[in-house]
Amino acid sequence: MLGTLIQQTVNALTIGSIYALIALGYTMVYGVLRMINFAHGEMFMLGAYAAFLALTLFVGEIGAIGALGLTIAFFGAVVAVGFFGVGIERLAYKPLRNSTRLAPMLSSLGVSLTLVTGIQILAGPQPVAFPSFFPTTRYDFMGGTVTSVQIGILIAAFVLMFALYTLVNRSRMGIIVRAVSESRPTAQLLGINVNLAISAVFFAGPLLGAAGGILYASYYGIMSPSMGAVIGLKAFTAAILGGIGSIPGAMLGAYILAFVEVGGTALLPLITNGVLGTEYRDVLSFVILILVLLVKPAGILGEPVSEESMVYKREF
């Protein structure tokens, strides 16, 4: 029993870390632009494909993947996706900054569609086996099994989140981003370079999302062009649960969601006597989303803001 508990806790922490990395991108973009970026799930997918590409290149060059090759592939892929995110913002969202709120969301939907189909054409629509980034070893820990992949995911996610947290709270760039997130017009009036802040967010968000994608793909050993859709929805739920716009909130929400999901999936067939099986796992996160909206729409750590104050006026 204890073994199962530990096992499930580690599973939840692993999947929660991946949700957190993606949720951070949603929450930061929502913070500065008040837009839901539907193409964010695709950054997650691109991360896995970019890393796969980098790995196959290294295999071709060196013959075997060493620790150095893995590190370069990982960071090369996430930085590349980060720059890609900045480019997409410039091309598809920046021209729409002063139009209706619907326009950038529709544009991101178009970007998402383009990226999924683009990868489908380039790499084929079928799922591809993904090489593990960590050598797989199993450790028995008080009756539960923990794999080295899970430990690696936890460490990588914690390091990335800690780095982001430090950057946002301690660096000058972090102050700029937080100021723009607080109020874009005021920040602009104070002479803050709003474009720089937005670019920073569109670099960091996709970078973390891509890292999440690589970790996810090496955890399950598989990647597909459509992998971003459902995970994106869940990460967004996590961001709302924690309080959208709040960075610690996104992390907290992601872990809560993961625990509810793992626990719920294990308990659901027991509670309902087998009527509702594990296939309802995705339904669970959606029910949480609705409940949060009904009970506490600001989320756990979000500030209670009314909808009006979130609306930017068009400049005439």
Binding site for another protein (CB under 8 A): 34, 36, 38, 91-92, 95-96, 99-103, 105-107, 109-115, 117-118, 120-121, 229-230, 233, 236-237, 240, 277, 279-280, 282-283, 285-286, 289-290, 293-294, 297, 307-308, 310-311, 313
Minimum gap (Å) between residue 116 Cβ and another protein:
8
Minimum gap (Å) between residue 86 Cβ and another protein:
16
Minimum gap (Å) between residue 23 Cβ and another protein:
12
Minimum gap (Å) between residue 7 Cβ and another protein:
26
Task: Name which of 172 and 313 has its Cβ closer to another protein.
Answer: 313
Task: Name which of 10 and 39 has its Cβ closer to another protein.
Answer: 39
Minimum gap (Å) between residue 209 Cβ and another protein:
16
Q: How far apart are CA 213 and CA 227, in angstroms?
A: 9
Minimum gap (Å) between residue 96 Cβ and another protein:
6
Task: Name which of 136 and 278 has its Cβ closer to another protein.
Answer: 278
Task: Name which of 235 and 251 has its Cβ closer to another protein.
Answer: 235
Tokens 């949480």 sit at which residue? 288
Task: Name which of 121 and 196 has its Cβ closer to another protein.
Answer: 121
Task: Name which of 66 and 277 has its Cβ closer to another protein.
Answer: 277
